[in-house]
Structure 1
Amino acid sequence: MKKKRDIILALLTGLTLGLSYPPLPFSLLAFVGFIPIFLVLENKPKRPFLLIYLSFSLFHLITNWWLSSWQPNADPYLMVSGIAVWLVHPLFFMLPFILYVQIRKTTTFEVAVLLFPFIWTVFEWLRTFSDIAYPWLTIGYTQVYNIYWLQFIDLTGIFGASFLIVLINSLLLVVIKKVRDNKLLPEPLSFFSIKGVNFSALSIVFILIVPYFYGFLKVSEYNYEKIKSNNTIARIGVVQGNINPWRKWEVSTLDQIFLHRDLHDSLIKAVGKLDLVVWPETAITFHSIELNSEYNLNFLLDNLIQNQTSLFSGFADIVFLKPGEKISATSKKYFGDESKYYNSYNSAILLNYNPIKTSNPQIYHKMKLTPFGERVPFVEHLKFALKWLEWGVGISSWSIGTEQKNLIVESSEKSFEIAPIICIESVFPDFVRHFSKLGADVLFIITNDGWYDHTFGPEQHYQIAVARAIENRKFLVRCANTGVSGVIQPNGLSLVRAPQYEKIAFASEVPLMNEITFYAQYGDWLPNICCIVLVGAIIFVFFKFYVKK
């Protein structure tokens, strides 16, 4: 009976946390989602970590089931890798609980559970590092629909939201424990007479309510009409090509350019002159600046000059290695001359129709690559596995970009800097905030979420972008091949949101904002403080255990 109860409680944590994650509308469940698994751990089950694994396997299944694509055209490798992530990912969620269990052995429940928000935040933050970084399921994202409560992340970043969510769970657990230990009498509200309950209850109310006051002020402060009247405006066009991602690598580069150009031209005819038009990730495929692109670039430039509009687009860049330059694990031999090697990059290109201080083209190479999907983790040490782990579409061996930089849009009329964020880079808050520090006036995300059409994936990716807009207090323009494309305001509200799975183009007047938020300036200061607290706690626990021995 006890074993069944523990299994049910473990599954309940996975279920409540899963239901709290977008696009499901039950965000408040996150504030109680951790409670069941802690009740299980207090029961001292024989296999606690197996129950934790079970819990977060269900959480991953509810939120990230779409990683295998499950479409008729899906690559078998993508399907297998999605299943592999499902099996492995819960192990990362186990790590903070392993540390919690060790701390709990040497201290009281209250101390251990109130340390857990620090433990959780540190391990969540650590998931943003290394070749296998995958911070998609950061608990703070459960509140992206709770937009007024979330506004404080311009101070703390998304990890601040995670910290408070887990802290509320911890405080509720303290209340539950004290009530159970004191064998609560049936009189209404009698538990407030128990020592320590008042403080915990008031703390919960404070953490839940105070962010709303800050949030209402900030949502009003960043009202679109107010910002528009006080800032320079850039007229931005967004082109959503809606190309089947499984077929796009079989279509000629020029055909894809024609498709996007036609939507581009139709938009300009409808709305007039635009400062910049954006196309999605890899809208221009296998486009080699150094080898065969001169005609294509000239063709594009002629069109841009005619329309007096600049272009920002995703493309696949090829860069030949210079003599003596290091050949990496992802470098390839050039088929026309095997003595030559090149690196291929998932890239963004900016073409100004009338450059004054800059030159065409400006290129940014993607620096955060999707594990397995775009690059095999630790490929330098696993060269032998590279061919085994290659997509049918052949994009699992991109090279990593080395320079984070903004791109400069300019003409005789105005000049502004854009952050060229490509796909999964948008889920790394510290990485994105560096674009703000470098002087970005507006954030751009180009992506191709078509691999996961008609699943939770594209909507989750869009909602994660909401957090980036709030953290940096900048307008965020999002251009996705099949959607979700849109413009997100600095308060997280959508100014424009285009329908998915349609060939469509739209324009928006986007205010340029060069302010630097506290978070953009100082980054992940909160996880760093959590690290200090955690290290101190571990030292304390170690010496206490040592003295006891």
Structure 2
Amino acid sequence: MTKKEWLLILSSSFLFSAAFPPLPLGFLAYFFLFPLLIALEDASPRRGFKLAYFFGLVSNFLLLYWMAWQFFYGETWVLPGSIGALFILAIYPGVWGWLYCLIKKKLGNWALILAPFLWVGLEWIRSLWEIGFPWLDIGYTQTNYLSLIQFASLTGISGVSLWVIFLNIFFYLLVEYRKNLFTIISVSILIVMLILIPYLYGRKALSEPVSSAKVKVALIQGNIDMNVKWNPRYLHHSLETFYTLTQKAATENPDLVIWPETSAPCYLAYEPFYFDWVKNLSDSLNIPIVLGTDDYQTIEKNQYVFYNSVFYFQPQQGLADKYYKMQLVPFAEKLPLSGKMRVLNKIQLGQANFSSGENYTLFDSPKGKFATLVCFEIAFPDLVRKFVQRNAGFIVNITNDSWFGKTVGPYQHAAMSVMRAIENRVSIARCANSGISMMADPYGRIIEKTGLFERVNLIGEIPLKNKETFYTRKGNITALVSFFLSLVFLVLAKFKR
């Protein structure tokens, strides 16, 4: 690549990366594509792939470096896989660059109109199947601008991503045709409308009252050190920490106590002493407790199926229900397709070899039904939507973000809860071992939140869901339209001489 191309690629990568949390620079997302589009102006499809691939690769290293952070906790096996993932994920923007240049070559400036749909279609594909990783959807850059993204209740995050890319295209056109007065005026009007309409819709939405029915939750942020969390000698210490914090939280009479993912770092159902300890705690306080632990089932002699699990204890009932995590982290919790191809079961990359749950389990509480998603599951809009469709009155997300360390990872992860709340008009209580724990109302407004690496209780009230959104009812129509529209244009480009 030439020096100019390197400069343009790096500029796009830095703008893209700086727009994501925790930096309050989401507006940079409106311009990140501009340098890349300049680099692609005369590029062949093959070169377009190369340029956009390097944009993706640099962006991934800037935004996803936390993937390898477990290396610093002694998990040296994660390094090769994490670096490999950064290279693999860069293929998606690479394909976008290839398709954009292909269509531009055959259909000219129609490529600019199609570019946002191509982008959103590829974001959607990146979320599919067991290898799905929808982490860096460009729509997440806007979670600080609640007035602008309330329309996600209609379109989901895909609509927000589409909106951001269209803004990029229009700003590019302003500069590209700066000598054409008619184009400048027309595009300027489009930009104003593209910002004003979502803003007015958002202001109206934010003025609507939330449900008066509320549930009081206590989020127990134990902040257990990752260096000792899975050491059996520290099991008692870990559970005692949550036990003590829960007793303190109980003085404020919460309706539900929530512990984070793997807060019981053992197979709790097979640890009678600690199982009874949690059960008796729930009984004595007369408060339900939801917590994360591991679980397994015996399918044949010496053959077991393991799950990343959620246990729900009800006063005087003991273990009332359990949920098995459905969307597992690829290559960390499960090797993709290993359940379908036996040969993959023999490959060991240090993954946990969990199995995926199959049931959309809702827990019954005195204040209504709720779903508890585990960690990475909150990144999947359709998964959350299906729980809400089944009448979840609020969503709980438990996670252990300790292995992110003091990186941008926890902030990126927390922003997803804001988007899921808006999409479904449902409150979300997020409990993290080391932070960020928080509560968001159905419009994405943060009610309370903690910092990182604090041992603290977070107690507050969240409104129950009182309406169903278009997105909840119909799903990700925006992504499907984007995908099929892209296919139509690709067919047209193929047959264009």
TM-score above 0.5: yes
Residue 122 of structure 1 deviates from its aligned partner by 0.7
Q: How does 1:70-469 map to 2 (within 5 A)?
A: 72-109=72-109, 111-179=110-178, 184=179, 191-192=180-181, 194=182, 196-222=183-209, 227=210, 230-251=211-232, 253-269=235-251, 271=252, 273-287=253-267, 289=269, 292-321=270-299, 339-354=301-316, 360-380=319-339, 381=341, 383=343, 386=346, 388-390=348-350, 396-409=352-365, 414-469=366-421
**Equivalent in the alignment of 1:336:** none
The whole-number CA distance in structure 2 between the counterparts of 1:488 and 1:348 is 21
CA distance in 2: counterparts of 1:279 and 1:541, whole angstroms: 53
- Give SS of 1:234's match: strand
Give 5+ residue unaligned stretches, structure 2. none
SS of 2:465's equivalent in the other structure is coil
> How far apart, CA to CA, are the structure 1 residues paired with 2:344 and 2:165?
42
Query: Pairwise mapping of residues 513-532 of structure 1 onto structure 2 (< 5 A)?
Result: 513-532=465-484
Quick one: distance in 1 between partners of 2:450 and 2:177?
51
Does structure 1 conserve the Cα–Cα contact (< 8 Å) formed by 2:279 and 2:319?
no
Q: 1:212 offset after TM fit, Å?
A: 1.2
Q: Tell me, in whole angstroms, the C-alpha distance in 2 between the residues paired with 1:491 and 1:146.
A: 11
Q: Partner amino acid for 1:388?
A: Q
2-structure distance, mates of 1:70, 1:370:
14
Once residues 8 and 113 of structure 1 are traced to their aligned partners in structure 2, the CA distance between those partners, rounded to angstroms, is 22
Q: Which residue of 2 aligns with 1:332?
A: none
Which amino acid in structure 1 is aligned with residue 320 of structure 2? P
SS at match of 2:135: helix
SS in 1 for 2:217: strand
Q: Which amino acid aligns with 2:439?
A: V
2:213–2:463 CA contact under 8 A, matched in 1: yes
Partners of 1:119 and 1:108 in 2: CA distance:
15
Tell me, what secondary structure is at the counterpart of 2:302?
Answer: strand
Distance in 1 (CA, whole Å) between partners of 2:389 and 2:379 is 17
1:274-315 residue CA offsets vs partner (Å, 9 max, x unmatched): 2110000011123253xx344433332222111110001111
Cα distance in 2, alignment partners of residues 386 and 18 from structure 1: 37
Amino acid across the alignment from 2:84: A
1:70 to partner: Cα distance: 6.3
SS class of match (2:177): helix
Secondary structure in 1 matching 2:397? strand
> Aligned partners of 1:131, 1:70: CA distance in 2, in Å?
22
For residue 203 of structure 1, report the CA deviation from its aligned partner: 1.1
CA distance in 1, matches of 2:128, 2:321: 28
* CA-to-aligned-CA distance 1:101-155 (integer Å, 9 cap, x gap): 111111122x111111111111101111122211100000111112211111111
Deviates more, 1:482-491 or 1:502-511: 502-511
**Structure 1 SS opposite 2:296:** strand
Q: 1:288 to 1:279 in 2, by over 3 A?
A: closer
Aligned mates of 1:385, 1:366 — CA distance in 2: 19
What whole-Å deviation, never above 9, does each CA across 1:406-430 have from its counterpart, x for those lacking one? Answer: 1112xxxx34111111000001111
User: Which residue of 1 is the match for residue 5 of structure 2?
Assistant: 6
Which amino acid in 1 is paired with 2:359? E
Is 1:488 matched with 2:440? Answer: yes
Q: 1: distance between equivalents of 2:406 and 2:74?
A: 13
User: The residue matched to 1:11 in structure 2 has which SS?
Assistant: helix
User: Structure 2 counterpart of 1:281, which letter?
Assistant: E
Query: Which of 459, 474, 479 does residue 507 from structure 1 map onto?
Result: 459
What are the Cα deviations for residues 8-31 of structure 1, in whole angstroms up to 9, with x where unaligned?
Answer: 112111111111111122111111
The alpha carbon displacement at 1:354 in A equals 4.4
Answering whether residue 464 of structure 2 is matched by residue 477 of structure 1, we say no
Secondary structure of 2:72 counterpart: coil
The 10-residue stretch of structure 1 (84-93 or 422-431) with the greater mean CA deviation from structure 2? 84-93
CA contact (8 A) 2:306 2:355 kept: yes
Sequence identity of aligned pairs in percent? Answer: 27
Q: Deviation digits for residues 184-225 of structure 1, max 9, x if unmatched?
A: 3xxxxxx42x3x443322111111222111112222225xxx
Give yes or no for contact 2:293–2:310 (8 Å, CA) kept in 1: yes
Deviations 1:80-117 (A, max 9, x none): 222122222111221122111111111122x1111111
Instruction: State the shift of 1:247 in Å.
Output: 2.0
Moved more, 277-286 or 359-368: 359-368
Contact residue 288 and residue 319 of structure 1 kept, 8 A: no
**2:78–2:350 Cα contact (<8 Å) kept:** no
- Provide the C-alpha distance between the structure 2 equivalents of 1:505 and 1:174, rounded to a whole number of angstroms: 50
Task: Please tell me whether Structure 1 or Structure 2 has the larger radius of gyration of its CA atoms.
Answer: 1
The gaps in structure 1 that reach 5 residues or longer are 185-190, 324-338
TM-aligned CA distance change 1:131 to 1:454, over 3 Å: same
1:405 positional shift: 2.2
Give the aligned residue type for 2:212: N
Partner of 2:68: 68
Relative distance call for 1:177 and 1:240 in structure 2 (3 A) is same
CA contact (8 A) 1:124 1:135 kept: yes
Question: Please, what is the CA RMSD of the aligned residues?
Answer: 2.0
Q: What is the CA distance between 1:385 and its match in structure 2?
A: 6.8
The 1-side partners of 2:493 and 2:177 are apart by 23
Change in Cα spacing, 1:60 to 1:354, as seen in structure 2 (3 Å) is: same
Q: Secondary structure at the match of 2:8?
A: helix
The letter of the residue matching 1:469 is A
Q: Which amino acid aligns with 1:535?
A: L
Given residue 163 of structure 1, which amino acid in structure 2 is its aligned partner?
L
Report what 2:16 is aligned to.
17
Instruction: Output the TM-score relative to the length of structure 1.
Output: 0.86
CA distance in 2, matches of 1:425, 1:71: 23
